[in-house]
Structure 1
Amino acid sequence: MTYLIGPTPHDTRLTRTVTGHDHEGREVALPVVEERPLTIWLNSQQIVTAMTIGDHPEWLAVGYLANQGMLLPEDEITAVEFDDEVEAVVVRTARETDYEAKLARATRTSGCAVGTVFGDMMEGLEDVRLPDLTVRTSELYALAKQINTTPSLYLEAGAIHGTVLCQGDQPLVYMEDVGRHNAVDKIAGWMRMEGIAASDKLLYTTGRLTSEMVIKTALMGIPALASRSGFTAWGVEIANRVGLTLIGRLRGRRFVCLAGEARLERDADLSAVPDEPRKAGRKGSA
């Protein structure tokens, strides 16, 4: 399969080999994911320091600022400057910016790494009107098969999340990071800098469908979000409020849609879709 941008599991900058011992006392050497700090600046103001694997810092910075409502759709980006030595990215805009008050309202969320959402972020959803997008189950199953069999840093070393931008049954851009929010911000930054339309896209994530993942997807203008993992109640509530199709527990031929059911077209022949065994002890699993 061909991605516009795909995982780079054998990039030596992203993992480090560490020696230890297994349960029988045998020496083992394992690749483990690197974590690096990345400080994001908007013009002359320091915004946040994120822990990241270190790839695509410019896209991460632009996407983070856009998803936090600090980089407006009409803003002209005049420069994006990454300094590897000081591990910082400066995003420069033609508009003068000052987000001291906004930064004071920052709150931690359930997400890992750069999972920070600002107090007035929900206000940005008031005017969100997501486009209609038919989500065909045949395309969902095709996407899941391709994504889950793609060589990735997750399969190489684990301890990482992936997010994939998809169109129809084609995965386009596959980003990974120690935090699922980082991965989706990289995609948001790439879309912003490349002028990519969101109305016909679906976002697939390996992580939980939390409120922040739903908010970021909606603010990007993407009308559908899917995952192998489960939901949070607030994530479902927000998805219903903004009209986002939300699909979780996508394993084998089974899934659950908790928002945007009207957009689903069940066109797949289920007898032709391999299933996965149910996990014991989970009530109501799909």
Structure 2
Amino acid sequence: MDVLKQINITRLEDGVKYPKEDIVILESRVSFYLNGEKIISTMCIPQDGDAHMIGFLLSEGVIEGVGDIEHLEVLNRGLEVRMQAKIQEQNLKNLYKEKTLVSGCGGGITGQAGNEMQVEFNTSALCVSGRWVLEHVRKFYQESELYLQTGCVHKAMLLFSDDETLFSEDIGRHNAIDKVCGRAWLNHKNPSEGILVVSGRLSSEMVSKAVMHHIPIVVSRTAPTFLGVKTAQTHGITLCGFARGKNMNIYTHPSRIKSDDNLSS
């Protein structure tokens, strides 16, 4: 499905109006079906639906890994995703029970509640150069095709130590994370071995997704919330905000980020 739509608008420049063609992003309701039952509909860009559903269910703990998936298909021009899988019934019930409306754009829903997540403390030994991370953050913002065309999407990237990168874009920043984590598994990459770079603020539900995927380092150009910082601290996540130019703020567990004066160590 073509997710870009051309429309006619009126442009105002220096007090003068004139007709102009513009490009906008397609927003659609995509439905997820699990073991024959519709579990949720989400407003998103109708692409990468398989990755999106995988990432979402892993984020919520409904499936424990891609090995639990028996069958997965995308139907109806991307508007319907169906999965047969072995599931964690209680976590699926929590999704229906809690239904927390998250602060992310697009109105996402989560059944995970920050510090109540039963996830082991992240003890990853991943340690990287701050300079190397910032170089990739610069590229991250330069290489966003849908954003450059529409100005209307968020982006998520998984960055691995061998310089391999995976990207996803969506109108919802939480959707972008789910999609990139699902895409990693479809590409036989484990998100827990990478660094998550996101375009939006680091609120608690964004950090919670990193917790559920066991991602050790999360980076954004913007700010975290207090609960986002607390969630990262509690679960062993290195949380970096305001990653711009040559600078960043490291809010939690800073030992995973090397400074320039100890790059050889």
TM exceeds 0.5? Answer: yes
Q: How many residues in Structure 1 have an aligned counterpart in Structure 2?
A: 258
Tell me which residue corresponds to 1:71: 63
TM-score under structure 1 normalisation? 0.82
Structure 1 residues 156 and 184: alpha-carbon distance in aligned structure 2, compared to 1, 3 A threshold = same
- Per-residue CA deviation, residues 212-250 of structure 1 (Å, 9 max, x unaligned), is 111101211110000111111100001011111111111
Measure the CA separation in 2 of the matches of 1:159 and 1:86.
Answer: 20
Tell me which residue corresponds to 1:17: 6
CA apart distance, 1:122: 4.5
Map 1:197-216; keep pairs closer than 5 Å: 197-216=190-209
* Counterpart among 257, 261, 265 of residue 254 in structure 2: 261
Which amino acid in the other structure matches residue 32 of structure 1?
Answer: V
Measure the CA separation in 1 of the matches of 2:88 and 2:37.
Answer: 11
Structure 1 residues 122 and 193: alpha-carbon distance in aligned structure 2, compared to 1, 3 A threshold = farther
Measure the CA separation in 2 of the matches of 1:78 and 1:184.
Answer: 23
Over aligned residues, Cα RMSD in angstroms?
Answer: 2.4
Structure 1 residues 268 and 20: alpha-carbon distance in aligned structure 2, compared to 1, 3 A threshold = farther
Map 1:91-130; keep pairs closer than 5 Å: 91-94=83-86, 97=89, 99-100=92-93, 102-113=95-106, 115-118=108-111, 122-130=115-123
Matched, 1:132 2:121: no
Which amino acid in the other structure matches residue 18 of structure 1?
Answer: I
* Counterpart among 32, 41, 49 of residue 57 in structure 1: 49
Tell me which residue corresponds to 1:185: 178
* Counterpart among 153, 159, 177 of residue 146 in structure 2: 153
CA apart distance, 1:29: 1.3
CA apart distance, 1:151: 4.5
CA apart distance, 1:86: 8.2
Measure the CA separation in 1 of the matches of 2:94 and 2:45.
Answer: 29
Measure the CA separation in 1 of the matches of 2:251 and 2:239.
Answer: 6
Tell me which residue corresponds to 2:38: 46
- Per-residue CA deviation, residues 16-66 of structure 1 (Å, 9 max, x unaligned), is 112111222111211111101100111122211011111111110111111
- Per-residue CA deviation, residues 145-192 of structure 1 (Å, 9 max, x unaligned), is 221221511111111100011013735111000001111101221233
Measure the CA separation in 2 of the matches of 1:184 and 1:29.
Answer: 31
Structure 1 residues 112 and 249: alpha-carbon distance in aligned structure 2, compared to 1, 3 A threshold = same
Q: Is the 8 A contact 1:69 1:121 kept in 2?
A: no
Tell me which residue corresponds to 2:72: 80
Bigger mean CA deviation after superposition, 233-242 or 79-88: 79-88
Q: Is the 8 A contact 1:41 1:48 kept in 2?
A: yes
Q: Is the 8 A contact 2:54 2:66 kept in 1?
A: no
* Counterpart among 77, 81, 86 of residue 89 in structure 1: 81
Which consecutive unaligned segments of at least 5 residues does structure 2 have? Answer: none
Secondary structure at the aligned position of 1:25 is classed as strand
Bigger mean CA deviation after superposition, 71-80 or 92-101: 92-101
Structure 1 residues 247 and 75: alpha-carbon distance in aligned structure 2, compared to 1, 3 A threshold = same
Question: Identity across aligned pairs (percent)?
Answer: 25
Tell me which residue corresponds to 1:26: 18
Map 1:230-269; keep pairs closer than 5 Å: 230-267=223-260
Secondary structure at the aligned position of 2:183 is classed as helix
Which amino acid in the other structure matches residue 139 of structure 1?
Answer: W
Which consecutive unaligned segments of at least 5 residues does structure 1 have? Answer: 1-11, 270-286
Measure the CA separation in 1 of the matches of 2:154 and 2:106.
Answer: 11
Matched, 1:174 2:163: no
Q: Is the 8 A contact 1:125 1:218 kept in 2?
A: no
- Per-residue CA deviation, residues 90-147 of structure 1 (Å, 9 max, x unaligned), is 1101458573464022121111225211155754344243412113112112102221
Q: Is the 8 A contact 1:16 1:31 kept in 2?
A: yes
Measure the CA separation in 2 of the matches of 1:267 and 1:215.
Answer: 30
